[in-house]
Chains A and B, each alone.
Chain A
Amino acid sequence: MSNWIEACAADDIDEEDVIRFDHDGRTFAIYRSPDDEYFATDGVCTHEQVHLADGLVMDEIIECPKHNGRFDYRTGEAKGAPVCVNLRTYPVKVEAGKVLIAIG
């Protein structure tokens, strides 16, 4: 069963941007796409221990601030060196202006 957690208010995140959300000792990254959709992934890059929320969102891509590794934040797919391992993604819903993510 999904465990829905309130991460932030929907308008806490600018369009085409990302913020960091820490919960229970874990870090997540919550994205708002240019089409005003919300997504969530693990908050730390799979290459090294770097927070993706300091990176750059371009369309459906999050670029890591350390070595510019790129992921598709909708699927978590690593798009090439230096990131080779996909990011874990989490279901997201927006209810009453709040962004909720389902963490297993």
Chain B
Amino acid sequence: MNAAPTIRDYSLIGRDAQAAVANGLAAAEWYHTDLARKQMKELMKRSDGPAIRDTLVWLGCMMFFAGLGIALWGTWWCVPFFLAYGVLYGSASDSRWHECGHGTAFKTRWMNDAVYQIASFFMMRNPVTWRWSHARHHTDTVIVGRDPEIAVMRPPDLLRLVLNFFGLLDVWHALGDMGRNALGNVSAEEKTFIPEQEQHKVVRIARLWVAIYAATIALAIYMGSFLPLVLIGLPRLYGAWHHVLTGLLQHGGLADNVTDHRLNSRTVYMNPISGFIYWNMNYHVEHHMFPMVPYHALPKLHEAIKHDLPAPNTSIWNGYREMIPAFIRQLRNEEYFLKRQLPPTARPYREEFHSDAIAAAAE
């Protein structure tokens, strides 16, 4: 017998998935701030320079920290170097995966693809599956039953969130998916967003990765040391915290089932180190509204359209100060959300999403 459904059904093949289609929330037309074509073209312009520089810094720092960690292996002095290596592996890769998946980081296609493959491996995200799931996330951002990348569902599972700061559940599921895909099994949910002609690629990459992890484990056994695993695989756990810290802010606690990114996404000003690790994805409303704009142009895009957006959060801390209490209130009332105030200079959109009926739930 099936358990009674909760109020929200996040399954991609469940009740709310059907309701989203019926209500016109699936593949809907989303709000965009007006921007002159000439200015937009300038912002969308691609170049290789910033991403080559950042990739050299990223991979160079990884090698540097790994080198020192290996040299100091067996002493406590290796710990800080592996912690730094871990963040570059298990967190900076998240934003590299993301930007290169969009194909906007570099102008040159093969560079995007190469960094995308490396970052996908580090993050344990099948590059085929996740390219498609992310496309759906952009089509149906935080639409219940449609978006496969909703990080915090309602009511929030706080234990899951805490465990994911150490990558525990993500990696557990990623390993399960990898094994299942490697055996040739593409799930019914995966089939809802991966076209048939792409599904064999999911299996092929999963098999390659299983071989790499098997070789790493074999090497660790042969050496009688955890070192190979500390370098490959485990950093996805001990270095995950920063990408979870920043990633939860993207949509956490905000409205769902609205077709306006100003209401369901969060822009947060961040310190430059987090900005480098996160590759400017803190300009998240801007990114969702105009995914064509490369990460390095997002601050300029923000300046161009901020008159039409809710005030950004002023820091990571400021974002958490509104988000955590919202999660706690959602434990009691999953209808609660943080209602974004648009500035007087903003163009209102789809008034029903700002209506008193919904606003009441947010009080």
- Contact residues of A with B, CB < 8 Å? 17, 47-49, 55-56, 58, 63, 65-68, 70, 81-82, 84
Contacts and interface: CB of A to CB of B under 8 A. Distances in A.
Identify the interface centre among A47, A49, A82: most chain B CB within 10 Å of its CB.
Answer: A82
B102 A68 contact: yes
Contacts of B197: 84
A17 B138 CA distance: 24
Interface residues of B, number: 20
Contacts of A63: 103, 292
Nearest to A56: B44
Interface string B109-141: 000000000000000000010011001001100
A58 B291 contact: no
A67 B41 contact: no
Contacts of A84: 195, 197-198
For the residues of B in contact with A, the DSSP-based class is: helix
Given A81-B198, A82-B132, A84-B197, A56 B41 contact: yes
Contacts of A70: 103
Contact of B138 (A55, A56, A66, A81): A66
A82 B103 contact: no
B265 interface: no
Nearest to B102: A68
B102 A49 contact: no
Contacts of B138: 66-67
A82 B131 contact: yes
Contacts of B27: 48-49
